[in-house]
């Protein structure tokens, strides 16, 4: 079976770095036209767009801002006239101790919830009428192992936001399957990116490696092929499912 996304226009959020960059490049390698979303890393996003081939374009949107988030799907539709798939990958994981001042605590929860859960919800809301009208659409939410097992106390907001994303994907699968729309969750464990590095810097490499059954930490390129496969249609009847990619940490 070959992976062919050549008839698809795919919006990947947070495609400037880490897992999103690998997903964008994997989808492009399978023939997709990729809308490369980014927040602040304009140069990196431009580089990813170049690597994704002549049809790829970068799109900027700060996913903490309601208006910019809502406008992103419309921008992509204006540029390409169509959208077939949405990969909800952009995310933040910020450390926030219980003892932090209430204002900082609340701001952190707000930002985390907005980028990790509200932005996906708003992007889906913007894309759904288009998917319904064309009779198809696929959505992949990049959640986290933390959605299921929780996280360390300083990252409770992160875990809670990702649990919400799982419920959002399942609701979309249930509610819009009859419109030809499929929704999946991918739940990575630690993946070697800037986000994981911040956690390693705080807690040490041991906390990342000790759980694994495999010898190597997961790389972004270990996650991307699964996302491309989900977008290919090869797993449409698994809509609503969650797939763990955590180097065997659940069975360790």
Ligand X SMILES: NC(=O)c1ccc[n+]([C@@H]2O[C@H](COP(=O)([O-])OP(=O)(O)OC[C@H]3O[C@@H](n4cnc5c(N)ncnc54)[C@H](OP(=O)(O)O)[C@@H]3O)[C@@H](O)[C@H]2O)c1
Binding residues for ligand X (CB under 6 A): 14, 16-20, 38-41, 62-64, 89-93, 115, 142, 144, 188, 190-191, 193-196
Please count the CA atoms within 13 angstroms of the CA of 39 that sit on its side-chain side: 15
Query: Closest approach of Cβ 37 to ligand X, in Å?
Result: 7
SS3 at position 188: strand
Query: Closest approach of Cβ 116 to ligand X, in Å?
Result: 6
80 is catalytic: no
Pick between residue 16 and residue 232 the one whose CB is nearest to ligand X. Answer: 16
Using alpha carbons, list the distances in angstroms from residue 228 to 32, 34, 39.
Answer: 9, 12, 23
Using alpha carbons, list the distances in angstroms from residue 4 to 76, 110, 225, 233.
Answer: 21, 39, 12, 10
In sequence order, the β-bridge partners of residue 57 are: 35
Pick between residue 91 and residue 137 the one whose CB is nearest to ligand X. Answer: 91
Pick between residue 37 and residue 182 the one whose CB is nearest to ligand X. Answer: 37
Using alpha carbons, list the distances in angstroms from residue 136 to 61, 131, 132, 180, 215.
Answer: 25, 5, 6, 5, 40
The three state secondary structure string of 82-151 is CCCEEEECCCCCCCCCCCCCHHHHHHHHHHHHHHHHHHHHHHHHHHHHHHHHHCCEEEEEECCCHHHHCC
Query: Closest approach of Cβ 112 to ligand X, in Å?
Result: 10
Out of 38, 80, 158, 250, pick the active-site residue: 158
Rounded CA separation 130/116 (Å): 22
Please say whether the beta carbons of 190 and 218 come within 8 A. yes
Pick between residue 33 and residue 144 the one whose CB is nearest to ligand X. Answer: 144
Q: Residue 208 belongs to what H/E stretch? A: helix 206-209
Pick between residue 4 and residue 43 the one whose CB is nearest to ligand X. Answer: 43
Query: Closest approach of Cβ 133 to ligand X, in Å?
Result: 27
Query: Closest approach of Cβ 2 to ligand X, in Å?
Result: 27
Q: Which residues are catalytic?
A: 158
């Amino acid at each position: 079976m070959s992976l062919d996304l050549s008839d698809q226009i795919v919006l990947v959020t947070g495609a400037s770095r880490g897992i999103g960059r690998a997903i964008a490049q994997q989808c492009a390698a399978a023939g997709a036209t990729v809308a490369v979303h980014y927040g602040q890393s304009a140069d990196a996003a431009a580089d990813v767009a170049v690597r994704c081939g002549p049809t790829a374009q970068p799109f900027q949107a700060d996913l903490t801002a309601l208006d910019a988030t809502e406008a992103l799907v419309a921008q992509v539709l204006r540029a390409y006239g169509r959208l077939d798939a949405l990969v909800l990958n952009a995310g933040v994981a910020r450390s926030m101790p219980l003892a932090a001042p209430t204002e900082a605590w609340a701001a952190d929860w707000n930002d985390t919830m907005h980028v990790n859960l509200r932005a996906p919800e708003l992007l889906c809301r913007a894309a759904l009428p288009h998917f319904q009208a064309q009779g198809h659409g696929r959505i992949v939410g990049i959640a986290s192992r933390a959605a299921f097992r929780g996280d360390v106390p300083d990252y409770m907001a992160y875990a809670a936001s990702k649990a919400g994303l799982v419920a959002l994907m399942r609701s979309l699968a249930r509610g819009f399957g009859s419109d030809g729309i499929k929704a999946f969750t991918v739940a990575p464990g630690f993946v070697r990116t800037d986000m994981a590095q911040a956690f390693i810097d705080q807690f040490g490499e041991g906390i990342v490696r000790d759980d694994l059954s495999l010898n190597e930490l997961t790389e972004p390129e270990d996650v991307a092929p699964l996302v491309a496969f989900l977008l290919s249609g090869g797993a449409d009847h698994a809509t609503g499912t969650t797939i763990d990619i955590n180097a065997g940490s659940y069975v360790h």
